[in-house]
Structure formats: structure tokens, C-alpha cells
Amino acid sequence: MRDLNFFKDYKGGKQERIKQSKYLYIVIGLWIVIIVITLGYNSFNILRYKNKYKHYNEQLNSDRVTKKLQKVEEVENKISVLKVYDTNLSEVTMAVDRRDDVSKENIEKIRKCGTENMEYSKLSIQEGVVNIEGTANNRNDIATLQYNLKKLGIFNDVHVNDIKDNSGKCAFSIKAVIKVVDNNENK
């Protein structure tokens, strides 16, 4: 007959528990090794980055870099001032461009203000003043020119400077001051 061993399970259970504890110790040991390795790696990187940080701060605080930084700040200040001047100059330029004192159309209107019996010898424009010189058959033609120039609406003042009678023709000189139009009046 066969012998029955009642302690067989008890002995195998103990060995199985020993196996499980070996695996547990191995896993715990691996985790500890992994933690120690990552701790060492991270500590090394922290020290390395601290040294780099010190090195970069020393470079940034060096005389060479501070001088360059001062130059950059000076240039930025100059650029900001130039931008202000540029915007102001652009506004002035646009205002001058909009101020169309004597355009081709206005010159053509001035030419048409006279009568058929008139000849213009000189038309000059200086500093907002139009000077017209010419000859006419009589004084009425000159008065008609003066009246028509006032009626154009582009002049503040129109007056005859000089009239000379020369052998049936009248030489004249008319001065007309151009209106200065503000931006508010344009709107």
C-alpha cells in the first residue's frame, strides 16, 4: 500500500511562499535600483544646469554684454523718437498733399476768368500769392477779370496792383491771395 504524506502540501506551500517572496524582493530591488538611478541622473542634471545658469549669468553680467545692452537701448530709444518724427512728418506730408492750392484745374479756371480781349504775359505763384500780369483792351476787361477771380472762391483777396495805358492797350497787374484751408474746413 501506499503511504500518505499529509505534510506534503505544507512543505510545498512554504517553498511556494519562499518563491513568491524571492520575486517580491527582486521586484522591490529593481524598483529601488531604478529609483536610485533616476535620482542620481536627476541630481547630476540639476547640478549641471545650476552650473550652466551661473555661467550664463556671469556672461550676461559681464562688461561686454552690458555695454552692448546699453547700445541696444540707445538705438531703441532713437528708433522710437524717429517713429514719432515719422508719424508727425507723415501727417504733415499728407496735409501738404491734400492742400491743393493751385492745381491744373485751378490754373485753367484762372485762365478762363479773363475776356477774349485779354492776353496773359505772366502768371506766378509764390507762397500762396498768385500774381497775374497781362494786357487788355480796356479797364472793364480788367474789372471783369478781378470780379471773376473773386467769384472762384479759391482766393481770400483779389486786387489790381497796377494799370498802365499804353497806346490803346492797358497793361495790368493783379494780386490774388489763396485761401488757406484748414483740415476742419475740408470736412
Other CB atoms within 10 Å distance of the CB of residue 15 = 9
**Residue 39: inside a domain:** no
Q: What was the pLDDT predicted at 8? A: 60
Q: 134 is in which domain, residue-wise?
A: 103-178
What does pTM read for this prediction? 0.45
What are the pLDDT digits (tens) for 96-153? 666 555 667 777 888 888 888 888 888 888 878 889 999 998 888 899 999 999 998 8
**Residue 5: inside a domain:** no
Query: Could you tell me if 163 and 149 are in contact, meaning their C-beta atoms sit under 8 angstroms apart?
Result: no
The residues, ordered by sequence, that sit 6+ positions from 101 with a Cβ below 8 Å of its Cβ are 125, 128, 178
**Residue 141: inside a domain:** yes
Residue 55 pLDDT grade (very low, low, confident, very high; cuts 50, 70, 90): very high
* CATH number of the CATH domain containing 107: 3.30.1360.100
**Residue 168: inside a domain:** yes
Query: Total structural domains in the chain?
Result: 1
